[in-house]
Amino acid sequence: MNQSKLLFAALLVLILLFVLPICALAAYHQDDIDAMVKIANDIGLVLDGNPANWPVTWQSPSSGFDDRIIGLYLYGMSGLTGSLDLNTQGIGTGTGLDALVHLSCSQTGITALVGHNSALQMLECYNTGITALDPSQYPALTHLTCFGTGITALDVSSNPALMHLQCHDTNIMALDVGNNPALANLDCHNTGITALDVSNNPALASLDCHNTGIAALDVSQNLALNGLNCSNTGITALDVGNNPALQVIYCFSTYITTLDMSQNLAMVVLNCSNTGITALDVSNNLQLMELRCNNAQLAMLNLSGCVNLIPFGFTIGGNPLINLITPEGHTIQVDHVGNGTAYIENYLLTSKTVHFAAVPDSGWNFNQWQPISPSGLTLSTDPTYLNGITIVALQSSYVRAVFVRPSSPTPSRLPSKLPKTGDHFPMGGLLALMVVNLVALGWVEFWIQRKRSQV
């Protein structure tokens, strides 16, 4: 009896040590194992003896079938080099990694991706040595991130399911997304593209095309757009009237001269600095928290109702601003008499302080500031700005700068003594001296004639 128990225990140990691992190993699809071994040899990847420890995700397609590789994750393995072959033909029985849906090989030394994979949906190959990429080999792609690579061209016309594309910081010179109606996120900044048509991308929610050569941008068909960055481009106009979902706009350092924000009620962040905009009304954008419009051409700024603005996200300096409506609805105005420029240089949200500056034209002097209204308005000197003053904007206020011409110079007086021999004598002084001498001679002649008559 005891011998039978010992034999049974020994048999159980053998099963645990040998049979179960073999069964577990048999659960992995052999074609996937063969494909991974080939890839590892090609790029210098060291594989553990147990496929469960490989940098992959295994998934069983259904009961009774071996697990397939659906994810391959090589991110950050800087020692990997060479060409990564995703070809599903000619490996093992010929199927290879045909179940792969997610490949991440970013931040590696891989220099090329080759082969076809019809199941691949997510491809992350950013910050690699790749210089060419053919997305047509992956027709099911929904996500492609290839930024920071050396690619010079990108054709995504064969990827109608593409939803997310990051191709920024590359050398591509053109980008056609007309065949990507599902595209929701596009980031192509810091590229050489000179034109961008997003009219066939109704699902587009985020667009970043800053630091490109585009000269025009039409987002009227992108009703879902909530984030737009078109700064540092050559665009001369921006119409966002058909984008009610917009929350963020960066359009600084462009050539736009007008911006109508009346339809963008969800707006939270707006940066339109360094533009030609002359008037800006954000009184309908009550959710606005950050506004940067410095160094534009603003003469009028309406902040009425924008009580959610945060101080460290608010800059308006460097504008010829003469009319400001504060978030509390107070109108602050400044004008001037004489030749010069008077303007609002800054407004501090926390203290409600308005800073003014006055710059005289050439040949004119600044004379004074005058409080026009309300009666008793206090003007405080502000040395921060040229001829600066401040007021506290607790009510609507109106101030005026006065510029005057300099007084006429005082005529030169005659010299008190004659110059010494050899001294330089100015021409004007010489003429004056001649006149004095002539007058003196005339008086002498008159005195002589008078004496003679008395004799």
**What does the domain layout of the chain look like in residue ranges?**
230-310, 322-413
Q: Is the C-alpha dihedral spanning 139, 142, 146, 147 positive or negative? A: positive
- The pLDDT of residue 427 is above 90: no
Measuring CA to CA, which residue among 308, 317, 299 is closest to residue 355?
317
**CB distance 332 to 348 below 8 Å:** no
Band (pLDDT 50/70/90 cuts) for residue 94 is low
Mean pLDDT computed over 306-319: 96
Band (pLDDT 50/70/90 cuts) for residue 435 is very low
Task: Check residue 2 and give its pLDDT.
Answer: 53
- The pLDDT of residue 410 is above 90: no
Q: What percent of the chain has pLDDT over 90?
A: 76
This prediction's pTM = 0.82
Report the phi/psi class of residue 434: left, alpha or beta, with left for phi > 0 and alpha for psi in -120 to 50. Answer: alpha
In sequence order, which residues have a C-beta less than 8 Å from that of residue 235 and are 6 or more positions away? Answer: 214, 215, 216, 217, 251, 254, 255, 256
